Amino acid sequence: MTFVHFLNCVALSFAPYVVVYKSSILSEYAALNRIIFAGIVYMGIQLGKMLLLATFFPPIESSTGDFLIIPEFLKTTVDAIDLAGVYYLINRTVGKPELKVMIAGFGWASAEALFSNLVPFWVGARGLEFDWKYIVMALDANVSLVHILSVSALVWAYFRTDLNTNLIPVVTTLLVVSVFRNYVCQLIATYVVMSPWVLLLLKASVTASIATMSLQIYSGLARES
C-alpha cells in the first residue's frame, strides 16, 4: 500500500505537467531539449542561491520554533535571482512569445517539482504510515506550475519595449508579490495558525489572482506582437 501511495503522489504531482506539455505549443515544437536546458539553468541558479545564502545568511534557529520574520524576509529577497534566470531563458529562446514563455516557465517549474518532490516522495511516501502531507506537496506542485508560468509571462511582459507605461507599476508589483508569495502566506499561516490544507488554498488563491492578471497583460501584448 505504501508503494501505491508513492505512485499516487507521483501521478498527482507530475501528471498535470505531462498534460500541459502534450496539449500546448511545446509538443508541437518538440521543445524537450530546451526544457531540459531550462532545468539545467534552474539547477545552476539554485546552487548559486544556496552558496549566497550560506555566505551572507547563516541559519538562525528560533528556540521556540517560531517563524523569524526579518531573517526569512532577507532570505526570500534572494529568490529574486530566479527572475533573472527566467529572463535568460526567455531571451535565448527564438520563436513565438507563447513558446518563449512556455519553455522558460514550464522548464523551470518541472525542474523545481522534480528536485523538490521526487526524493521526499520516495523516502517519505513509501513509509509505513500514510501521511497527508505528501498529497499536499503533490497538489502544491500543480499550484507552482501555474505560478511559475505566470511569473514567466510577467517577466516577458516587463522587458517588452512596447509595454504601456501605465502597466509598468502593475507588472512590477505582480513580480514582487510573486517573489514574496510563499513568505507572505507562511507569515499569515504562522499567526493565524492555518492547517497545511488551508495554507495550500491560500497559495492557490494568490496564484490564481496573479495568473488572471498576468494572462490579461500577456494576451494584450501578444496580440500586438
pLDDT in tens, 23-43: 999 998 888 999 999 999 999
pLDDT of residue 122: 80
Can you give the residue ranges of every domain in the chain? 2-224
Answer yes or no: are the C-beta atoms of 154 and 217 closer than 8 Å. Answer: yes
Confidence of residue 162 (pLDDT cuts 50, 70, 90): confident
pLDDT of residue 38: 95
Answer yes or no: are the C-beta atoms of 138 and 113 closer than 8 Å. Answer: no
Indicate the angle between helix axes 181-192 and 69-77, nearest 10 degrees.
160
| CB burial of residue 88 (10 Å; 0-12, 13-18, 19+) | middle
pLDDT of residue 62: 54
The more confidently predicted of residues 118 and 151 is: 151
Evaluate if residue 21 carries a pLDDT over 90.
yes
Mean pLDDT of 101-123: 91
Concatenated DSSP letters of 121-182: IIIIITSSS--THHHHHHHHHHHHHHHHHHHHHHHHHHT-TT--TTTHHHHHHHHHHHHTHH
d(CA 141, CA 14): 8
Answer yes or no: are the C-beta atoms of 45 and 82 closer than 8 Å. Answer: yes
Answer yes or no: are the C-beta atoms of 150 and 215 closer than 8 Å. Answer: yes
Distances (CA, A) of 217 to 9, 95, 102, 210: 34, 19, 16, 11
The pLDDT > 90 percentage for the chain reads 58
d(CA 77, CA 136): 25
pLDDT of residue 16: 93
pLDDT of residue 163: 81
Q: At CA 97, angle to CA 204 and CA 43, rounded to 5?
A: 60
Evaluate if residue 89 carries a pLDDT over 80.
yes
pLDDT of residue 176: 96
**Helix %, strand %, coil % for the chain, to 5?**
80, 0, 20
177 grid coordinates: 508579490
Mean pLDDT of 123-128: 68
Evaluate if residue 195 carries a pLDDT over 70.
yes
Indicate the range of 62-66, 97-101, 111-115 predicted with least confidence: 62-66
116 grid coordinates: 523538490
Confidence of residue 7 (pLDDT cuts 50, 70, 90): confident
pLDDT of residue 61: 61
